[in-house]
Amino acid sequence: MRAVEAGAEEDRYTSDSICIPKRSDAALAHATAYTNEEVTGRRPPKWKRKIKCDEAKPWCFRCTSTSRRCEGYKTSEVQSTIASRQSSLLRSASASTSAAAAASATSPLSEGLLDTRLANSIDEHKAFHAFLHSGTFTLGCSSDIDLWCRYIPQLFHTEPAIRHAGLAIGSLLLQNGSMRLKEQSPIIKETGSGGDGAFAVHHYQKAIQSTLRSMQSGRKDIKLAGITCILFFSIEALQGHEHEALQLFKRGNQFRPISSFEDPNHADPILAGLEQSFSRLHIQSSMFEGSVIQTTETDADLDGAINSTIQAQTELSSLILITCRAVEEGIFMKWMPQFTQFVNVGDMDRGAALLQIQARVRQLRETLQRWHTRFLAYKEQSSRKRESVEEAILTGFLLLRSESIYFWMVGCTEQSELVYDSCLPRFQEAVNSAGQILDLMHRSGKVGPFSFELGLMPPLFVIIQKCRDPRVRRQALDLLRRAPAQEGLWNRDIIVQVCEKTIELEEGSDGFVREIPQDRIDIEIPEAMRIKLVKVDLRTTLEDGRTGDFVDFYSLPHGFDREWCITRDFFEV
């Protein structure tokens, strides 16, 4: 009878931590659903449920519906480990961004998300871990650290659109297969590191729905809108949807957050990071779609001293946009006789226009040299302080980009590709710098399957295309194979295949791309064999299901006044 009464008493206690009167040993023997922690003196014992109940894991409906919180299942250490890491992240994020903290206080979801309940399944745990602990360090590619590693993770906890978009990105990062997560991660140890495309699409749709609801409610938050656009761009780029990613950028650019960079040290760090990100998205759009989005030559003031890497990056991004426009016009003008069959040029005076572009290019070279001198002075002055890994990588990237701009301008108005042969020392120096950056990225764990930022691929691609020294271009090709799997819209597998095809066409070295035959080391590639232009189309899917890019290689084997010889090939992802 006493055992029955004890069992009846137990049914009334369903809370996480409860106190009950002191009972006999016989009654305690029947309390199988609870664990006696410690009984000291007259203090009543505490009891905790240690086995799961019959509701849906990991949070029971019976608990959540009555405003009680279940501590979870103590049989697994995964949840407690994640909770401690999330709490640490929240503390650091809250201390770093006061604006986001104020927003989280007014968010209807802040109370429900600012605890350990950030994932409803092990798939969400893995995606959450991939985005926060691995993705944020590679998505920003050592730039915009505050934006990617502080502000976006904090909004992950308070904004449903950011949370769902982050889970989609994390799942796609895992799905790509080359994510190197830390060995101590209990999630990856117990469940593997696979990703699910349906999972990513589901959360992407949820993010879009949350964004539409926010817009319909009349809420206007320029920071949130800019970050959402960037995350959506990353999702489309990770899926290989290049056209959709470019369309997203063009629509988001209409609401582009503009911040003043007259004093970068006192500018809003979030708006500054968004401005930097949109500027580099602008560069990617110019590379893929030409001058669809216009730019002006007053975007940067390249005078005075450089006081920060943010200022240097801002100036260089603006200079890249101006250079892209000038190089595009120069290439069109120098090959206009061959392009007349595709474009109606009207009564344009080719000679006068070409002279005007050459003058602009000379001016841009002088501007680039001034920027380079000012940045080296800043680097020398700041070298007295201890430089972080992110700063070292970003500094190397900026110098490498400035060299790639120089290579763009060398031959943009010259028909002969032989003009690049005089740049061999600079090609070699740029390859050495790229190798140092890549080694630093690998040692510091900054190499992931995707980088929102354009880093190594564009400079290495230019070097391989324009440097005809077989040893230097193969060194660059080896570095390209070690680069992140994707940088923005640049896919490493596609770019490597394009570069290998260029080497085969120019050197006639079919099957000798990786190793150089001794009898071909010192052979100079003749002008007629050199590829003049390479045009990469946007991602497409063939009828047989293969996905990749069509690429056209333009050459003039019969002279500058003859028609193009176009080699078209399809490269599969």
DSSP string, 137-159: HHHTTTSSHHIIIIIHHHHHHH-
Q: What separation in angstroms does the CA of 211 have from each of 161, 207, 215, 277, 382?
A: 6, 6, 6, 20, 42
Does the residue 192 lie in any domain?
Answer: yes
Please calculate the CA angle 156-157-161 and round it to the nearest 5 degrees.
Answer: 50
How many distinct structural domains can be found in the chain?
A: 2
46 and 88, same domain (yes or no): no
Q: Domain residues for 45?
A: 2-65
Does the residue 328 lie in any domain?
Answer: no
7 and 125, same domain (yes or no): no
Instruction: Kindly state the average pLDDT of the residues 110-130.
Output: 62
50-88: pLDDT as tens digits: 444 544 444 454 554 555 555 544 434 444 444 454 444
The string over 366-388, giving b where at least 16 C-beta atoms fall within 10 Å of a residue's C-beta and e elsewhere, is ebbeebbebbeebbeeeeeeeee
Does the residue 144 lie in any domain?
Answer: yes
265-319: pLDDT as tens digits: 446 777 777 877 887 788 887 777 554 444 444 444 567 889 888 788 888 988 9
Both structure tokens of 233: 């761009």
337-391: pLDDT as tens digits: 655 444 444 556 777 878 888 899 999 999 999 999 999 999 888 877 777 787 8
396-418: pLDDT as tens digits: 999 999 999 999 999 888 889 99
33 and 144, same domain (yes or no): no
47 and 176, same domain (yes or no): no
Residue 573 has pLDDT above 80, yes or no: yes
The residue among 157, 190, 236 whose CA lies nearest residue 489 is 236
What pLDDT was estimated at residue 57?
A: 47
DSSP for 331-344, written as a single string: HHHHTHHHHTTTS-
Residue 295: Cβ-neighbour burial (10 angstroms; 0-12, 13-18, 19+): middle
Q: Supply the DSSP symbol for 311.
A: H
Does the residue 157 lie in any domain?
Answer: yes
Instruction: Kindly state the average pLDDT of the residues 128-155.
Output: 71
The β-bridge relationship of strands 17-19 and 46-49 is: antiparallel
**Residue 283 bridge partners (DSSP):** none
Other residues' Cβ atoms within 10 Å of the Cβ of residue 277: 24
19 and 147, same domain (yes or no): no
d(CA 450, CA 234): 9
Instruction: Kindly state the average pLDDT of the residues 218-230.
Output: 85
Instruction: Kindly state the average pLDDT of the residues 451-461.
Output: 88
The β-bridge relationship of strands 547-555 and 531-536 is: antiparallel
User: Whose structure tokens read 């909004």?
Assistant: 155
The residue out of 21, 41, 65 marking a domain boundary is 65
What pLDDT was estimated at residue 132?
A: 75
d(CA 23, CA 47): 13
d(CA 29, CA 7): 10
**Residue 48 bridge partners (DSSP):** 17, 35
pLDDT band at residue 439 using 50, 70 and 90 as cut-offs: very high
Q: Give, for 83, the enclosing helix (H) or strand (E).
A: helix 78-96
CA dihedral angle for residue 471, residue 476, residue 479, residue 483, rounded to 10 degrees: -160
Both structure tokens of 512: 């000798």
What pLDDT was estimated at residue 519?
A: 65
Does the residue 398 lie in any domain?
Answer: no
Of the candidate ranges 42-51, 105-114, 125-134, the one whose mean pLDDT is the lowest: 105-114
Does the residue 543 lie in any domain?
Answer: no
127 and 25, same domain (yes or no): no
| 3 state SS for 410-424 | HCCCCCCHHHHHHHH
pLDDT band at residue 250 using 50, 70 and 90 as cut-offs: confident
88 and 203, same domain (yes or no): yes
Residue 465 has pLDDT above 70, yes or no: yes
Question: What count of Cα atoms within 13 Å lies in the side-chain half-sphere of residue 241?
Answer: 12
The residue out of 201, 231, 261 marking a domain boundary is 231
pLDDT band at residue 474 using 50, 70 and 90 as cut-offs: very high
Does the residue 248 lie in any domain?
Answer: no
More confident residue, 140 or 386: 386
144 and 49, same domain (yes or no): no
SS3 455: coil
What pLDDT was estimated at residue 63?
A: 54
More confident residue, 90 or 174: 174
What pLDDT was estimated at residue 463?
A: 96
| CA 526 and chain centroid, separation | 39
Q: What separation in angstroms does the CA of 251 have from each of 140, 172, 231, 248?
A: 21, 23, 14, 5
What are the backbone dihedrals phi and psi of residue 566, each rounded to the nearest 5 degrees, phi first?
-110, 125
Please calculate the CA angle 226-108-81 and round it to the nearest 5 degrees.
Answer: 85
90 and 201, same domain (yes or no): yes
Does the residue 474 lie in any domain?
Answer: no
d(CA 534, CA 571): 13
What pLDDT was estimated at residue 530?
A: 94
What pLDDT was estimated at residue 9?
A: 45
Instruction: Kindly state the average pLDDT of the residues 413-432.
Output: 93
Of the candidate ranges 151-160, 267-276, 529-538, 544-553, the one whose mean pLDDT is the lowest: 267-276
83 and 59, same domain (yes or no): no
Mean pLDDT computed over every residue of the chain: 73
The residue out of 191, 213, 231 marking a domain boundary is 231
| The one-letter amino acid at 3 | A
| CA 410 and chain centroid, separation | 30
What are the backbone dihedrals phi and psi of residue 568, each rounded to the nearest 5 degrees, phi first?
-110, 135
512-529: pLDDT as tens digits: 666 676 666 777 899 999
42 and 169, same domain (yes or no): no
The β-bridge relationship of strands 486-487 and 46-49 is: unpaired
The residue among 397, 473, 376, 482 whose CA lies nearest residue 431 is 473
Both structure tokens of 115: 């605890």
SS3 561: coil
48 and 86, same domain (yes or no): no
Q: What separation in angstroms does the CA of 286 have from each of 15, 25, 241, 281, 356?
A: 60, 78, 17, 9, 21
What pLDDT was estimated at residue 369?
A: 94
d(CA 537, CA 498): 12
Q: Supply the DSSP symbol for 49.
A: E
Other residues' Cβ atoms within 10 Å of the Cβ of residue 153: 24
Residue 11 neighbours by CB under 8 Å, 6+ apart = none
Residue 127: Cβ-neighbour burial (10 angstroms; 0-12, 13-18, 19+): buried
Q: Supply the DSSP symbol for 289.
A: H
Residue 495 has pLDDT above 90, yes or no: yes
Other residues' Cβ atoms within 10 Å of the Cβ of residue 111: 11
Other residues' Cβ atoms within 10 Å of the Cβ of residue 249: 23
